[in-house]
Structure 1
């Protein structure tokens, strides 16, 4: 065949394929349609309670986020009887067809995943009779798969900052469907796609092009000839794959973001549309397998669509519906605490076990923005052996070297990990995705298969029928990997046999993208941190009471509120305003409920005492931070439980006391007869005690820090700490998600004083208050230094009114080291302070939970925080990202009032020989004050250890006993001695509390424990 003939015939095939889209129906007729407008979703049972009106094709039915019910009716023409009939419904949004009151099939008006993607044809899976009257109920939503129509880079003068949308009845038809032509179009689709990845001129390519030309000739522009045309393609579609071809284990998938460009309420309906559609496909395709993660999504369906949920349970029991992922939601893995990560597994796996009787063995989080080095241990201790993601393929600078490997964490634990080489979790089952995946699969000499996750998520309904038909055609086709329907768990079990031959990656899986998610939506991040810390105190306080009084149901609700809002587009800050309106309300309600529960426990432990306050310390280190007493203290002196006066001062009308609450204990303070002394004015801008001296300039900059204990200057010559910098910040893409390195070139402001500083000093602490302006924003900083401490606290209130700006604060230190230490979940990770390689340079913004530390062997300095996560440590400077101001997808992101604390802490010794961890813990979990109660008690569980922390004391999930968790924090072999209640033993268990392992019997009331570096140990106390 000459080249010009090849080009001509191939072009003909492409045009022929496109034209077939208009011939899918022999004929159609409009359905009679009535419509009811709903501002908010209305359940099926209440669909008839409103007023309906007629609606025709082309009419608008709703605006942004509206809902509606459609009643569609038609009478079957005699010529259609017993033949394939289909609906063509497009309401320019998402829609759900019900059958007998149960969700049955989901429609999608379009998708960003493909300009021609529609899910608007529903082929009736049953025959119809002549004259039969058909009725269909459809619930519609005026939003796309990705919410509103929004500009991803909106102008500051946009008229629609929150997006716009029009619900329009584009199609309301029923027709006689040409199923044979539908198959012909699929044949062409697969062959055209295969030609695009085959060598441009070879026998196989030429053969396919000529076969398609022959099929077009046989079709002869007559839709009735579709079957004849297909005969011309049978030969080229039947050629088998080569013997060395890999196998793609194809698992039907529908990634549904719990909240993102739509509120969570829409995710509930997205689940119904998707799950209903997949159940129908399972009926139609006997070999098909579908999988879905996130127990929260199943819980949504159980609550809102119970009949659908029962169908899912039956499908799971059959083995054709796979439960995936051990976490409650697909949670962010940088920002949540170690214990939150544990509870994601605990609640997630318990739900699957309780509801379905299945132990899910994989962590399934394909779309999360990086993975902490602490995770392998938590994954394994949660009873999971496998981990799947693909998000690291988004890394901008460096290509990750493996697709299947053993991932090793900070403690040495390993988990078998797979990155699907198609680099997507919305695959389409087409050669142009599968062939490159086979080519670049790096472990292809060890394994002969990889996983393919195919189906459109976020409301696209997962795989649609066409996807399964393509998979059938690609099951064994020359020029392409073999496609085989399969479950993910079986895939992992097969490849596990080769794990000893696979490469190993040690340390974090850092995503070289989306670094802005460490900072944006600061209120949500702060509330998350506060709730994490408060829940630990609530559980501790109630563990001191009889187990019969433990508020398990209330705590379960609060924990699940926390967990759902840790979803990987909610807590990172990449969702729309509607999401955060709900999240901020839920966080406030949860914080109030948790505080109420803590107070209830303390009141049960003590007695009413109007002149007293009980302080609760749930940390395993003494809490000696100054305590600001309740307003009703009214200036009185402060007495401890023995009646001795404690150092106290009146500071801005409130009494601040110096008190030490023992580890894991409650302490009572009583109001004394006299008055606490008022603070004295502080002359100058110097905060000083016996350990350290700090000097400030008029703009709040720290100009000198002299460590008296070490006899050394903390800051480099001429440098200043607490240096605020405002930057113009506009990423190339993904505005809320990304920070680009070039922001460093766009500094546009520093903080300047707008009022003279004022200072005070007293026996408890001294302080300075600065009022600063920067850009269009204002800061008020109360900088305090407690007696006997080097920790300098910067309690900050910000009125933030910037657009596309970023605020950072920096502390250069006279400490030289090539690595900095960062706090992560239940451990620490070291990262370079230089940019020698592309891998080093890519980590210009990294996650630190409660601190980042620069330490030499005998000296260092740390920057602590109580609700921030984004750090830059470059050279000898500790730099913390405080606030951002993106305009997409939330136009109002972070505007308004913020409160946060960060602390500067010079220290002698290295990190592991300093008090940095305990100071960070104390900053984040101040003693909880419960006024009007006297309840002094010490937990019967106490710990003596240098580097081990008792992090959790709680009631077991399903047994009448306590559960405790201990963590080695310094990354070294360590010992600890635990005091156990009289008559009790320790039974080792996993993070899920499912196992009963070694039994440890106390000797003289104590148990000696040994720990590997960063090891987590969990015990039942029985």
Structure 2
């Protein structure tokens, strides 16, 4: 039968392909190999400082994460004369060849490297010497790492180091054969095109019983006819750009990422010399900054290709950050610093957000992008959804405020395309919007651990440019692609709301200490910028611009999507925690110095104290200073002298503040505890109603078995309860203006101590918690079943909130059980609600009337000691009359995370130079001032405000400083026009003002 005959023909061709590949190179001479091994990288100038080893293939040179400088020496033998000469080098690790100055020339990667082999082989082992004359000296140095692309140990032995002949005709034949073989499998079955391609492969195969350059040339002539056949008018054109997704830390430390960048980028530059059509793109200014610092010569070569237009700078953010957990202002700074770097270094205005691999996308992003001059977004991660297929590859993504950004998901569903015929066939067949679009994007190369495109990608593309049976493919930058796609935008659908990834919900909780530090850094930097801005308004220019930018950028680095989410190896978190502690300490030191100067300028004498409030509403609270308590009233975004505050001696029974064996009470709330320490009742005295569901217990610490990894926990975890933390001790006390219930719990080897605090005038119950967690593969959660009926939970995200369903009526709702929230999550009826507040937690669940918070989880991969440590965190419960908008729940979240600051005047000359007590005031309770900072390029102030409630709003903005000029700017601080007396906000709209001080 003809079908059987075709199967035989294809089988013969497939069997031949490995033989052709094995015939390309002929080793003719082994090189002398010397290595100098060190534990950490050393510069080229110190390359001889390590342990010296003479190596032959099979010799071990290192253990995981060892480094070495290799020297390869040899003489090209006579046998190479008249042929192209190459070096074949594989050290079972990553390697970067350098020039005589130590600057990277080309990256090599061991063949034995972890990768999805269906996408191609990750190894790079060939160094092209060209048509070298016999007798030419080979003397090369290379910087090595004893790890594969993904940080795995692969024997640490030298595999090969040979001078070899490259039979160019056979090499070309290999790619001719490979492309046509795949084409035959992806064109229409039994079509004339398929029949003729198969026949040509069979005819060529018959000529290759003996494979040499002569038979290869004859076989190529047979194949040339089919390779030269072009398509007609295309229904779909594929734009291809080289890519090398480089995780800034993951299964390797940050120090190795810097070297991965050098290896990858030097390989790109080498291949650009060989392939004139090659266009490559790379994101993340942080990576470019490292190249500039560590490899300046390489960086200059990159800049040349950028100027030429063959290297595209991508990304629009400082790194590719997690967008669920990172705070709103942090995301603004990601774009601000990212775009400014590209503009200052390369003169490039980046228009595309490049986030191929993050674990979900905040619904606030579209507005941040549009107000930063970023018009497009590229990702592919939604293809990882487990239960529901995202409905589009090309669409307009609409955020919570109504802003839209044109978004494309490459239909191949990968950023590691092999650029093979199967890639183009999949794009054409899988493109969900091909009925309205003629353009799709393909990202080709080896990624995650870097490496980028190899010769195989580029050789395939050269043959596929306009090959009959496949959609045509053109190598071009992604901006050119998006501009074509934009012409079709009017026919695309709109998708509104968050882009929820149906995987990796564990990353909202894993590595809790990193998440705690991230929140503290975001809040400390906000406070420091406000304090320094206050000084500017007082007439003292002591704004630490350079140091602030340095700290901000390192904070943004640790928001990378495998650091902040907790999905890296142990060493990454050991190093980041050490740096977090140093940065937090320095930020607090700068803050204390700045507020001390501000206290003096506010008129406080030496040693006198001033209370500062960086939030835009008046705060009436009790503050402690030098063992005394003061009742203070601090104006919005301003300060008040502690000397004028009322000294408080304690509340006592007359205030309604009471504590008993199983009860805490003030005049607003009464908390009753069960025998096991849980909350049996939270009675809202002001509203006259119970907040906890009848018969339920709240604040119960439940431990679940968690056999997942850093990314994912089992979806059925509720069916695998390991137990509950057992109450060991309980005590109560009245501490000044607080009543406190202290409880000590134990489970296994783990302990938890919690101070449950009710302030005299407090309307929240605060849970100040310290945990010594020693459990492996367990998850600790706490829940609050509340007496509220609603179909939606209100979740704070960056610059607003999302309503998410509390029902589980369909698969979309079922799979979105674990959700992200920042400072609050709330269940509200029109007349009443209960909010759960947090100072550092992000993973929640809200089903029916139960609010549940994920406190800790300790998976064993990729960090086998994840979260087995001491932790501290605070959460609070806030019952309230009215819904969460009427109750201004967002303010409670900010107050929990932004305490008042008391500072004593420094030793400078005292004097009241401040003619104001409040720097900024807004008169709408639903408008938040998120940031006050110095402008990037002037001494003006930048004020960032947003509407919090999802309604239209108006507000005036009053400044304590007189004679100011105000204009509205975008998020990049570019002018938009003069600001009016009253600002009008659309729902969730962000506005930025430039204030020129008089």
TM-score, normalised with respect to structure 1: 0.93
Aligned to 1:979: 958
- Aligned-partner Cα distance in 1 for 2:958–2:17: 75
Q: Please give the residue correspondences for 1:402-801 in structure 2 after superposition, counting only pairs within 5 Å.
A: 402-546=392-536, 548-607=541-600, 612-624=608-620, 626-629=622-625, 633=626, 635=627, 637-638=628-629, 646=630, 658-669=631-642, 676=649, 682-731=659-708, 735-755=709-729, 757-801=730-774
1:846-889 deviations in Å (ceiling 9; x for gaps)? 10011110001111000110000001000000000000010000
Q: Is 2:114 aligned against 1:124?
A: no
Note the aligned Cα RMSD (angstroms).
2.0
Q: Please give the residue correspondences for 1:225-240 in structure 2 after superposition, counting only pairs within 5 Å.
A: 225-240=215-230
Q: What SS is found at the alignment partner of 1:192? A: helix
Q: What SS is found at the alignment partner of 1:715? A: coil
Q: Is 2:331 aligned against 1:358?
A: no
Q: Please give the residue correspondences for 1:832-981 in structure 2 after superposition, counting only pairs within 5 Å.
A: 832-931=805-904, 938-980=917-959, 981=961
Aligned to 1:70: 70
What is the CA distance between 1:38 and its match in structure 2? 1.2
Q: Work out which of the residue numbers 100, 112, 117 in structure 1 matches 2:115.
A: 112
Q: Is 2:185 aligned against 1:196?
A: yes
Q: Work out which of the residue numbers 980, 986, 990 in structure 2 matches 1:1012.
A: 986
- Aligned-partner Cα distance in 2 for 1:242–1:399: 32
1:373-411 deviations in Å (ceiling 9; x for gaps)? 111000111110000101011010100000101000000
Q: Is 2:26 aligned against 1:22?
A: no
- Aligned-partner Cα distance in 1 for 2:73–2:622: 72
What is the CA distance between 1:65 and its match in structure 2? 0.2
Q: Work out which of the residue numbers 270, 273, 294 in structure 2 matches 1:283.
A: 273
Q: Please give the residue correspondences for 1:88-237 in structure 2 after superposition, counting only pairs within 5 Å.
A: 88-100=88-100, 101-109=102-110, 110-114=113-117, 117-124=121-128, 126-149=130-153, 165-224=154-213, 225-237=215-227
- Aligned-partner Cα distance in 1 for 2:544–2:441: 43
- Aligned-partner Cα distance in 1 for 2:622–2:875: 16
What is the CA distance between 1:413 and its match in structure 2? 0.4
What is the CA distance between 1:740 and its match in structure 2? 2.8
Aligned to 1:160: none
- Aligned-partner Cα distance in 2 for 1:18–1:610: 82
Residues 902 and 103 (structure 1), Cα distance of their counterparts in 2 relative to 1, 3 Å cut: same
Structure 2 contact 245–450 (Cα < 8 Å) conserved: no
Which segments of 5 or more consecutive residues in structure 2 lack a partner in the other structure? none
Q: What SS is found at the alignment partner of 1:196? A: helix
- Aligned-partner Cα distance in 1 for 2:281–2:518: 30
Structure 1 contact 679–762 (Cα < 8 Å) conserved: no
- Aligned-partner Cα distance in 2 for 1:487–1:613: 58
1:747-803 deviations in Å (ceiling 9; x for gaps)? 121122112x11112551211000011343211010001122220000010011111
- Aligned-partner Cα distance in 2 for 1:567–1:42: 26
Which segments of 5 or more consecutive residues in structure 1 lack a partner in the other structure? 150-164, 639-645, 647-657, 1002-1006
What is the CA distance between 1:676 and its match in structure 2? 4.7
Q: Work out which of the residue numbers 992, 1014, 1020 in structure 1 matches 2:972.
A: 992
Residues 920 and 678 (structure 1), Cα distance of their counterparts in 2 relative to 1, 3 Å cut: closer
Structure 1 contact 258–264 (Cα < 8 Å) conserved: yes
Aligned residues: 974
Structure 1 contact 94–459 (Cα < 8 Å) conserved: no
- Aligned-partner Cα distance in 1 for 2:651–2:919: 39
Aligned to 1:641: none
- Aligned-partner Cα distance in 2 for 1:628–1:458: 50
What is the CA distance between 1:304 and its match in structure 2? 0.1
Structure 2 contact 29–77 (Cα < 8 Å) conserved: no
Aligned to 1:153: none
What is the CA distance between 1:671 and its match in structure 2? 12
What is the CA distance between 1:354 and its match in structure 2? 0.5
- Aligned-partner Cα distance in 2 for 1:890–1:453: 30
Q: What SS is found at the alignment partner of 1:694? A: strand
What is the CA distance between 1:99 and its match in structure 2? 2.1
1:686-740 deviations in Å (ceiling 9; x for gaps)? 1111112110123221101111111111112101111221111123xxx110123
Moved more, 660-669 or 489-498: 660-669
TM-score, normalised with respect to structure 2: 0.95
Structure 1 contact 316–356 (Cα < 8 Å) conserved: yes
Residues 711 and 484 (structure 1), Cα distance of their counterparts in 2 relative to 1, 3 Å cut: same
